[in-house]
With several copies, the nearest count.
Chain A
Amino acid sequence: MEIDSGNTAWVLASAALVLLMTPGLAFFYGGMTRAKSVLNMMMMSFVSMAVAGMVWVLWGYSVAFGSEGGIPALFGGLDAWGLVGLETAVTDGLPDLAFAAFQATFAIITVALISGAIADRAKFLTWVVFIPVWLTLVYLPIAHWVWNAEGWIFKLGAIDFAGGTVVHINAGCAALALALVLGKRKGWPKEPMRPHNLPFVLLGAGLLWFGWFGFNGGSALAANETASLAFLNTIVATGAAGFGWLIVEKLRDGAATTLGIASGIVAGLVAITPAAAAMTPVGALVLGLVAGAICAVAVGLKYKLGYDDSLDVVGVHLVGGVIGALAIGVWGSAAFGADSLLAGGGIELLGKQALAVVATLAYSFIVTFIIGKVLDLTLGFRVDEEAEVSGIDLAEHAETAYDFGPSTSGGRSGAPAPVSADSKVEADA
């Protein structure tokens, strides 16, 4: 079949955008930790890029999108391992490899999202092992359910345009499971733990927003009206959610914060993900306001319930994802295929949406919890207390993030040159 160069250009550009989301996430999360654990936080994202990319090529694509060799409704087989056979294939004008590349970036970001729940305390080696196991047992099946034409949720007819269930609800649930497995950080919630670098959080939010145009816009797999609608909704819902979060903060805390708008932006991006091509721009605006405001409240849940979801993956991704999925059933636009309640379609769609949500939620939580427990009992998932207190960066990575030394404007701050360190070359060990 002939390639549509415009669609291919858009999907490739989108894949690049989505890939950038993971470094963006590293900054969004990394800025929120304390300075002594920022590197570990970022490292969890970066190593996801490394490992998930390899898994995707070796067997991930095949299990998620293959239909032969597996159980069609649940998962694919290994026929397309190593992407063998895709090199020259073209589907609907798009090279299969372009689609495989686009989807690779989704697998990467999903697993990276989870890491926000276990800031400051996860053994790096165990995290590295967790990635392929979790992708294989949790992500790939759910992706198959929702995006493979044979998958049971696909067949059910629930709407998830760009991955609200597969990516966000899934990551949010997995995050909750791991937060429970690893337990609270020492001192939490009594000891205050503030973000060490809010500009980094804003940088992360900015890059996430930017990349998300690929995530949502690219999910049309074509440069057409659907992509344009998804794109526009990704502007307006996101902004509205940032604004919604600020309103809650202003009313509740008395001040609108940068951490608040950054969080609201991400909440809005999450909420619009499944709904990006199923709502009018005004509907998307409303969805944003609702999601931003609710998530601003939801991040306080952990203090009540007592789980240390350190960077609020649950409050933002799980809650935001559920809001988006259900909103489609309530005020989705019939013109864009969503026979929602307000569009006069009754509660059928809402029911399907709810079913897809609950299935993902339950499966992800249970399987992730088991994986986490097994890893904890075998490899151990948590660093020892001393490492946590003195800083996981040093303990796990033998590094510290910053050394501003004597430079912060010459004499002013009077910082000394590095004090008596001694370098020894170890490269030949």
Chain B
Amino acid sequence: MKLITAIIKPFKLDDVKAALETFGVKGMTVSEASGFGRQKGHTEVYRGAEYKVDVVPKIRLEILVDDEDAEEVIDVVVKAAQTGKIGDGKVWSTTVDTVVRVRTGETGAEAL
């Protein structure tokens, strides 16, 4: 079992979700994040005083998948989230020891 984590641009979420559904992924968990990196933040001005915001809003996706699907899912996410501009984000995968579906107690692939 793998956990795919993706940091993407917020406005790409719908595209990524659609692509994953098409691929057959049944669920995922989304949360808000802020990113530091090559992509620059912006500056606001309040009564003449500059206020620099050096993070950019990002979305974090977590998708549990079967080992065999991991690579393809990464591919799907990368393609759907790509704009080609700096700040598109990262996708990574880690190994999961066990997964349980809370409702039923099922584990492993059954739990997804």
Contacts and interface: CB of A to CB of B under 8 A. Distances in A.
Interface stretch (A5-13, A317-325, A327-335, A412-420): A412-420
B51 A194 contact: yes
Interface residues of B, number: 30
B33 A414 contact: yes
Interface in B16-51: 17, 30-35, 41-51
Interface string A371-395: 0000000000000000001000010
Contact of B48 (A195, A253, A406): A253
Contact of A263 (B13, B30, B47, B59): B47
Q: Which one of B31, B43, B51, B52 has the highest number of Cβ atoms from chain A below 10 Å of its Cβ?
A: B51
A413 B53 CA distance: 11
A70 B17 CA distance: 64
B34 A423 contact: no
Given A406-B57, A414-B31, A257 B46 contact: yes
A411 B52 contact: no
Interface string B67-97: 0000000000000000000000000000000
A255 B45 contact: yes
A175 to B, nearest CB: 16
Contact of B42 (A195, A410, A427): A410
B34 A299 contact: no
- Residue of B34, B44, B49 with highest tally of chain A CB at under 10 A: B44
Contacts of B66: none
B56 A411 contact: yes
Nearest to A255: B45
Given A419-B34, A426-B50, A410 B14 contact: no
Nearest to A427: B48
Given A406-B57, A419-B13, A426 B45 contact: yes
A396 interface: no
A415 B32 contact: yes
A79 interface: no
A421 interface: yes
A400 interface: yes
A299 B34 CA distance: 32
B2 interface: no
Given A192-B51, A299-B48, A426-B45, A417 B34 contact: no
Contacts of A249: 45, 48
Contact of A420 (B13, B42, B45, B50): B13
A88 interface: no
B46 A420 contact: no
Contacts of A303: 49
B54 interface: yes
A417 B47 contact: no
A406 B10 contact: yes
Which of B47, B53, B56, B58 gathers most chain A CB within 10 Å?
B47
B48 A425 contact: yes
Interface of B: 10-11, 13-14, 17, 30-35, 41-59
20 contacts: A194-B46, A259-B46, A259-B47, A263-B47, A300-B49, A394-B44, A398-B44, A406-B57, A409-B44, A410-B41, A411-B56, A414-B30, A415-B32, A419-B14, A419-B30, A419-B53, A420-B54, A420-B55, A426-B48, A427-B49
